[in-house]
Every structure is written in C-alpha cells, then in structure tokens.
C-alpha cells in the first residue's frame, strides 16, 4: 500500500507536484505461492504412506513365510528319513516274527503232533486245511 502525503516544504523526497511517496512499514509481505504444477495434500501423503506400509508389511510376511517354508521342508525331509528307518525296522521285525512263528509251529508239530504229520501232509496235498474244524453243533464237546 502506498500513501500519498502532501508536503508544503520543499526538500528531498518530493516529486514535481509537491507530494511525497512513503511506503507503509506495517504492510505484511506475502509468502510466495506454492507451486501449482503438483500440489500434494496431507491426505495424499497419508494415503501414500499407508500404501507403502502395506507393501512393506506384505514383503515382510513373504520373507517370514519363505523362512517358515524352508524350515518346514527341512522338518519334512527329517520325518521322511525317520519313516524310512522305522519302516525298515518294522519290516525286519515282521520277518523275524514270521520266522519265529514258523519255528514255533514246526516245534509244536514235531513234539506235540506225533503221528499226525502224515495226516497233515495228506490234507495239504488235497488242498484242505491242516486241521479239521469241529462240527458247528459240537463246538463245546
């Protein structure tokens, strides 16, 4: 704002018409306006930060999931190895039990079967079981 002040005395600061130009000291100076080409608002900053946070959190979850996947794969491989070992042990045990059972049956037939060996051999040749089943009504007799 510029004020025009009338002065009667001639002196410095006067123009040809006798008026003096004085600037108002109390006038506020304006800050330069923000650039108008790309205005960024707090809402936009907040939205962008949220989006970045979500992406970062998802990437962290992927890293943790990959780590957990590797641990799980290692555990699964260990379980597979233990299953192979236990399967081999069970197969061996089953074979030994069958051998033991066959030896026990042979010992029973040898010492307790007496003369029934020929009868058992004949039944086997005919495709019959080694023993005779008692009749249904005579189960307890």
- pLDDT tens digits, one per residue of 78-109: 999 999 999 999 999 999 999 999 888 888 87
Contact (Cβ atoms closer than 8 angstroms) between residue 109 and residue 120: yes
- pLDDT tens digits, one per residue of 13-48: 555 555 555 555 555 567 666 566 666 678 888 899
- pLDDT tens digits, one per residue of 9-22: 445 555 555 555 55
- Tell me phi and psi for residue 52, to 5 degrees: -65, -40
Contact (Cβ atoms closer than 8 angstroms) between residue 5 and residue 19: yes
Determine the Cα–Cα distance for residues 69 and 79; give it in Å rounded to an integer: 15
pTM above 0.75, yes or no: no
Q: For position 43, what pLDDT does the model report?
A: 84
Model confidence at 49, pLDDT cuts 50, 70, 90, reads very high
């Amino acid at each position: 704002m510029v004020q025009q002040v009338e002065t009667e005395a001639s002196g410095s600061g006067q123009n040809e018409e006798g008026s003096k130009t004085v600037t108002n000291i109390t006038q506020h100076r304006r800050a330069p306006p923000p650039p108008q080409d790309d205005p960024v608002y707090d809402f936009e900053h907040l939205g962008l930060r949220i989006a970045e946070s979500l992406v970062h959190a998802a990437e962290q979850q992927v890293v943790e999931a990959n780590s957990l996947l590797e641990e799980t794969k290692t555990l699964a491989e260990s379980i597979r190895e233990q299953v192979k070992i236990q399967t081999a042990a069970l197969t061996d045990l089953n074979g030994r039990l069958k051998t033991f059972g066959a030896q026990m049956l042979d010992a029973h037939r040898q010492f307790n079967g007496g003369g029934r060996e020929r009868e058992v051999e004949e039944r086997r040749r005919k495709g019959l079981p080694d023993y005779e089943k008692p009749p249904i009504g005579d189960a307890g007799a």
